[in-house]
Amino acid sequence: MNKAEIGKRMDGALEALRKELAGLRTGRASANLLDPVMVEAYSQKMSINQLGTVSVPEARMISVMVWDKSMVKAVDKAIRESGLGLNPMIEGSLIRIPMPEMSADRRKELVKVAHKYAEQARVAVRNVRRDGMEQLKKEEKAGTITQDEHRRLSDEVQKMTDGHIAKIDESLAAKEKEVTTV
């Protein structure tokens, strides 16, 4: 059994959760919010950060400084059609995107989505644990490890699992607090 491999797979599940949570819109502006938005530019789909500089000058404002003036309208269109509920304003090659206030219902909805993401991450971590435990059983059956080693290693895998589940819960709690804070 390769503990490093198991740890890496569990870290992957945690990283995927963090990316999904970063994409959830809270009342505050975040440069990561525009990461999933793809722009039709130069005969291909490109992310906004490949076409300009994304920054957060204020708590409730995102700005995109588009490098090529001819792409400003395409970036604006992509943001409007992204389904994020954003309404960009063009000022030359600068696009300002004010963050609208969120209703209480929308906040509750986002918390539910965050919980769903966290549960998916927990399931992924538990699946990695199950794979590791099955590998240990096979190794014990094959005689490559002893019963004592099997018990010790399975305890280590369980500790890794518990640690990753705790990190998932921490990330969820932080996001929940961020979403519900007005």
* Beta-sheet pairing, 38-41 with 44-47: antiparallel
What are the pLDDT digits (tens) for 28-45? Answer: 777 777 877 889 888 898
73 to each of 44, 47, 90, 132, 147, how far by Cα in Å? Answer: 15, 14, 8, 51, 66
CA-CA-CA-CA torsion sign (28, 31, 33, 39): positive
For the chain, list residues with pLDDT below 70.
Answer: 1, 25-27, 182
pLDDT at residue 67 in the model? 93
pLDDT at residue 1 in the model? 66
Instruction: Name residue, tokens 């490093």.
Output: 4
What letter represents residue 141's amino acid? K
For residues 146 and 152, the answer to whether their CB atoms sit within 8 Å is: no
**DSSP percent split of the chain into helix, strand, coil, nearest 5:** 60, 15, 20
Q: Please, what are the domains in the chain?
A: 3-22+103-180 (1.10.132.20), 28-98 (3.30.1360.40)
